[in-house]
Structure 1
Amino acid sequence: MSQSLFLEGSIYSNEQAKRYFLEDPTYPLPFETIQYQAGETISTEQTKCNAIRIIGSGIVMQSQNKECVDLIGKDTFLGIDSLYTLSKITATTYTAITPTIIYQITTQSFMNKLNERNESQLFLISLMRNTTIRQLYHFTALSHATTHLTLALTKLGEILGETKGNMIYFPEGLSQQHIAAYLNISKTVMKNRWAKLIEQGIVSDANNEIVLHTGSLNE
């Protein structure tokens, strides 16, 4: 059997895992490309999912009981955690909050590659590790949300944004309301604190894009 071009013994990024499952010339998996507009539901999972979805571009909100539990960006795999859980799965909804492209693989073909290629297990471990790290960033952001909003925004920016010099550019279409839901802050409180950050020149919010100016992080 042909061997993958990817080497064993490493921890891989989500982007590398995406290339391994979709573009590995020795064993590429068939996938469907689906486009979603902002506000469209990508999936609602109440049982083990029948497809693994990879975010090609855009931002997705993960929610449970109609509350945001995460904001997820490019190259993230959706549905991995449902494959191995032994407990009842909490109904989880994934919603596009910006125009989003999803690469969709059947769970069966994904599992086939996991079972047939030894290095696939390392990619799976890497994906689970990366998910844990993202969740830790979220917990850190939540812990600072009420006392130091700019630090919470910085943590979110490290996950979803693009840093250029002393500025973090958040994805176009991500709004103050989305961030409030992510940080579990009421809309009224967020509106008041957001206005203060804009007045101080720490945040700019124009042309459908949020920019965090990190030169001064004191509210």
Structure 2
Amino acid sequence: MLVKEVSTCINQQFRDYLLNDPTYPMPYEICYIDAKKQIIEEDHSTDSIYIIVSGVAIEQHEERILQFLGNNASFGIDAMFNAGTTATSVMALTKMVLYKFSIHDIRSKIAARPVGATLLGNMLSHHVLTLTEQLTDTSSNYDKTLKILLTLASFYGEEKNSAIYVTKYFTKKMIANYLQINYSTVASIFRGLIAEGILHDEPHGIILYPATI
């Protein structure tokens, strides 16, 4: 199973545990977040865990982008194990809709429905595995850049006529930060993708042509 498919499965299981368990309904809030808003600050206390309904965010540590977060992804979970303090920050890249849960309420449910502890453990383990794979990825910079572009397109793109249209909610600088490569390298790869007919780059968005890959 691909990493993305595993992530989707794990995220969906945790979401179902919180939202779709008629034997133990969970209270929650629906939050509407503007683009560029900081949702969680690094090394600050929080009493909430969030699940993304729509939109995209970035998770950062010491100004390094650790991951891009899309639909059904959860964040703030580390605060459950760090005395209510988060080790990372999360900022909205687009307008977002979030489910917001109290950590206290989640702990109460886990006490009554212990399977939640397993689901949380699965999420944390997969998160560590994903970061490890990212750090040890020996693929070429070209392949890594194309891979993250396809991921970002899947988060917030619209498929039409064998192409994926994506509003440019991210920048080349963000991709360089995430991949830990030079901005000039990412810019050069973009030019190569354009020359190959895989990518069309415009000021307000990009168009990807997966059939040409």
Gaps of 5+ in 1: 1-11
Residue aligning to 1:179: 175
Inter-CA distance 191–160: structure 2 relative to 1 (3 Å threshold): closer
> Following superposition of structure 1 onto structure 2, how do residues 29-40 of structure 1 map, counting pairs within 5 Å?
29-40=26-37
1:50 corresponds to which letter in structure 2?
Answer: D
Asked if the contact 1:20–1:28 (Cα under 8 Å) also holds between the matched residues in 2, the reply is no
> Following superposition of structure 1 onto structure 2, how do residues 74-93 of structure 1 map, counting pairs within 5 Å?
74-85=71-82, 91-93=87-89
2:198 is the counterpart of 1:202: yes
1:123 to 119, 122, 125: 119
Q: CA-to-partner distance for each residue in 1:35-70, whole Å, 9 max, x for gaps?
A: 112211111141553111111111111112222222
2:8 is the counterpart of 1:15: no
Query: Within 1, Cα distance between the matches of 2:14 and 2:120?
Result: 8
Q: Which TM-score applies when normalising by structure 2? A: 0.76
Gaps of 5+ in 2: 1-8
Aligned residues: 201
Residue aligning to 2:3: none
Inter-CA distance 138–55: structure 2 relative to 1 (3 Å threshold): farther
Query: Within 2, Cα distance between the matches of 1:161 and 1:121?
Result: 29
Asked if the contact 1:64–1:90 (Cα under 8 Å) also holds between the matched residues in 2, the reply is no
Aligned CA-pair RMSD: 3.2
1:93 corresponds to which letter in structure 2?
Answer: S
> Following superposition of structure 1 onto structure 2, how do residues 86-105 of structure 1 map, counting pairs within 5 Å?
91-105=87-101
Asked if the contact 1:140–1:152 (Cα under 8 Å) also holds between the matched residues in 2, the reply is no
Inter-CA distance 28–139: structure 2 relative to 1 (3 Å threshold): farther
Residue aligning to 1:114: 110
Asked if the contact 2:40–2:76 (Cα under 8 Å) also holds between the matched residues in 1, the reply is no
Query: Within 2, Cα distance between the matches of 1:137 and 1:156?
Result: 17
Inter-CA distance 151–68: structure 2 relative to 1 (3 Å threshold): closer
Query: Within 1, Cα distance between the matches of 2:148 and 2:186?
Result: 17
Inter-CA distance 36–171: structure 2 relative to 1 (3 Å threshold): farther
Q: Which TM-score applies when normalising by structure 1? A: 0.75
Inter-CA distance 92–181: structure 2 relative to 1 (3 Å threshold): same
Residue aligning to 1:24: 21
Asked if the contact 1:97–1:173 (Cα under 8 Å) also holds between the matched residues in 2, the reply is no
Inter-CA distance 169–126: structure 2 relative to 1 (3 Å threshold): farther
Larger displacement relative to structure 2 (151-160 or 95-104):
151-160
